[in-house]
Amino acid sequence: MKSKIGIKTISVAGLLTAVAAVLSIAESMLPLQLAVPVPGIRLGLANVVTMFALFYFDRGLISAVVLTRCALAALLAGSPISFAFSITGSMLAMVVMLLLKLGYNRHFSLYGISVGGAAAHNVGQIAVASVILQDASIFSYLPVLLLTGTAAGILTAAAAGPFIKQFGNSDLLKRISK
């Protein structure tokens, strides 16, 4: 049942990747760390794009968008270390969100999917940090990250909701969704 990816799908995926990369870079300029001095605190705006992709793309294409976004953001405004953080966190978040999506509309709304994804991202980040520092005590940042991550997850779900609804009605995405 494997079919070639259409041009429209490729262009929409490219568009989403670009949007996600810009969101990643833009939010890394926000001095959130001044408010909460914990490494790795962020809004997770790029997750809006992952959630969007969750509804219209298959797993392979979602992974491609996430991977390319992390690579682009790291190349343009990051470092190998920031890449390690974002790729681990984002991939873990994606897997958890794909699982939660199975219960979409029955057990979870976008809020649950987003909060679950944020928590997974935080766990991934801390795991990478503990490997870099070679010390597990960095896990003591996890409680704060989980709390701020939950708040950020609710925010990004609220932002993603209208987009998914609006674009879901458009012809373009109807045609690529199959």
Partner 1 sequence: MKPKWGDYVLAGAVMLASLLLSYNILFAKPGSPPTAVITMNGEVIGQVVLTPGLERQIIELKGGRIVIEAQSGRIRFTESDCTNKVCINTGWIGTPGQIAACLPNKALIKITGDENDLDVVVQ
163 binds partner 1 (CB under 8 A): no
Binding of partner 1 by 102 (CB under 8 A): no
In sequence order, the 6+-apart residues with CB closer than 8 A to the CB of 5 are 61
The one segment of 1-9, 14-22, 135-143, 169-177 that binds partner 1 by CB under 8 A: 135-143
Token reading at 55: 């509804």
Q: Which stretch binds partner 1 (CB under 8 A): 10-18, 64-72, 102-110, 169-177?
A: 102-110
Which one among 59, 143, 168, 174 touches partner 1, defined by CB under 8 A? 143
133 binds partner 1 (CB under 8 A): yes
Burial 48-65 (b: 16+ CB within 10 A, else e): bbbbbbbbbbeeebbbbb
Alpha carbon distance 66, 3 (integer Å): 21
Kindly list the distances between the CA atom of residue 91 and the CA atoms of 18, 59, 140, in Å, as whole numbers in the listed order: 18, 11, 22
For binding to partner 1 (CB under 8 A), which residues are involved?
A: 33-34, 37-39, 81, 100, 103, 105-112, 115-116, 119, 129, 132-135, 137-144, 146-147, 149-150, 154, 157-158, 161, 165
